[in-house]
Structure 1
Amino acid sequence: MEVYELANIKSAKKRILVNRTKAARNKSIRSAVKTSMRKVDEAVANNDKAAAEVALKEAISTISKATSKGVYHKNNCARKVSRLSKAVNSIG
């Protein structure tokens, strides 16, 4: 695979390829996190406590995995989980 960038040095060309791969992986993980968070928000909006709790458990798992892989900072993870938990707990 040829790299069409300004890089002329072999290691720099490799860096470009590696960075593209990692960026694609991170994008996929971030997308999965957003989807799981959206599912929790939808359940909260519909006042469905049972569905919200199930979605919350899955969202926490997804967010934690993303954090362990270095996609998110641990405080970012904690903030997301806290906000989702607060939303679920607000359902009567």
Structure 2
Amino acid sequence: MANNKSSKKRVEIAERNRLQNKSYKSALRTLMKRCFTACSAYAEKPGDDAKATVQSSMNAAFSKIDKAVKRGVLHRNNGAHQKSRLTEAVKKAIEPAATAS
């Protein structure tokens, strides 16, 4: 338990930061999941609307990843790894559909 005023304040600040980081990571996971679902939907039924959905969900996820790295919620290598995963999934979904069309 914290003994003096400054250590009590540090505990409060750490808890505040933990909750903010948790919220950021949760939003990030949601956006990434949304992008993966859009990719699988596009792979099943290709179309212009589905392709636009994939692109917009990927852009939103990229933006959130970059902001999380900037804020220090994610390490930059972790951010790069997540962006790489998304890019790979999008390419895998779009390229076979493009060759089939």
Q: TM-score, normalised by structure 1?
A: 0.89
* Bigger share in helix: 2
CA distance in 1, matches of 2:57, 2:36: 9
Q: Deviation of residue 49 (structure 1)?
A: 2.6
- Larger relative contact order, structure 1 or 2 (CA cutoff 8 Å, min sep 6): 2
Return 61-70 or 39-48, whichever deviates more: 39-48
3-state SS of paired residue (2:3): coil
Which amino acid is the alignment partner of residue 65 of structure 1?
K
Q: Which residue is equivalent to 1:3?
A: none
Q: Which residue is equivalent to 1:27?
A: 22
After TM superposition, list the pairs within 5 Å mapping 1:65-84 onto structure 2.
Answer: 65-84=67-86
Could you list the structure 1 runs, at least 4 aligned residues long, displaced by more than 4 angstroms after superposition: none
The count of corresponding residues between Structure 1 and Structure 2 is: 87
Residue 41 of structure 1 pairs with residue 43 of structure 2: no
CA distance in 1, matches of 2:70, 2:29: 16
Q: Is the 1:49–1:88 Cα contact (8 Å) retained in structure 2? A: no
RMSD: 0.9
- Stretches of structure 1 that go unaligned for 5 or more consecutive residues are 1-5
- Stretches of structure 2 that go unaligned for 5 or more consecutive residues are 43-49
Q: TM-score, normalised by structure 2?
A: 0.82
**What percent of counterpart residues are identical?**
38
